[in-house]
Amino acid sequence: MGKLLALDLSTTASGFALFDIETKALIHHGFLRPQKCGMKGVGYPLIQLKKMQSLAEQIQKLIDSIPDLKVIAIEEINRGVGRLSQKVLDGFHFILMDRIEHKISLVHYKDSDGRTGWRTELGLHLTETDKALNKKRRALNAKLSKGTKKLPIVNRKHLACKFVNKHYLLALDCDVRETDGDEADAIGLGHSCLHPSN
C-alpha cells in the first residue's frame, strides 16, 4: 500500500511523521530545523529566504529517501498572529513546492482546526478544566518575579502530545522540548488521515 508522510510545516521547526498506510503503524517521527546560514549582518528578507531554502532542501531529501511514498499530508496554513512570520511561512510553502514539484501529485492539504480540521476530527479541544487551570496559572504567572520559570499554559500542542502519547505509547512533552509539539502535530495530522472517522 505504501507510506504516508505527514508534515507540520513551521519556519522554526517542522515536524514530520511517517506511517505505513496498510498497517497504520507509525514508522518514524522527528523534526527539521533550518540551517544557520552564516550570513553575518544580513537581514530581512534574505536571511529568511536562505533559511526557508535550507529547510525545504532538508524536507526534499527526506521525501526522496522514502521508498513507496504514496501520500504527503501537509497541514494547511492558518492565519498567523505576526505579519512577518505569516509572510515567511506562506513563502516557505511555495519554496517547498518548488523543491518537490516531482512529487506534487502526492501532496494533500488538511486544515488543523475548524469543521474539517484534524484536531477537530481527533476531538482535541480544551476542556472546561483546562480553561480553569489556565486561568489560575495566568494569574499566578503574573505574580511571579522576573526570571522565575512560568507555569505552563495548556494549549493545542499539549493536547496533541497527550493524544499521540496515548495512541502510540510515546513520551512527547512540549514543556520539556518545544519541538515535541511539532512532532506531535505531525503525528496527529497523519493519524487523522489514516483514521478519518476518529
Domain residues of the chain, as ranges?
3-194
DSSP 108: E
Q: What is the pLDDT of residue 38?
A: 66
Q: What is the pLDDT of residue 180?
A: 97
In tens, the pLDDT along 104-156 reads 999 999 999 988 999 999 999 998 998 999 999 998 888 888 888 888 899 99
In tens, the pLDDT along 175-196 reads 999 999 999 999 999 999 999 7
In tens, the pLDDT along 19-76 reads 999 999 999 999 999 987 666 777 788 889 999 999 999 999 999 999 999 999 999 9
Quote the distance between the C-alpha of residue 160 and its chain's center: 10
All three cell numbers of 93, joined, read 510553502
Q: Does domain 3-194 have CATH number 3.40.50.20?
A: no
Q: What's the rounded Cα separation, in Å, for the pair 180 and 175?
A: 8
Q: How many degrees, rounded to 5, is the angle at CA 161 between CA 116 and CA 97? A: 55
Helices (H), 22-127: 46-64, 83-99, 118-121
Q: In degrees rounded to 5, what are phi and psi of residue 16?
A: -140, 155
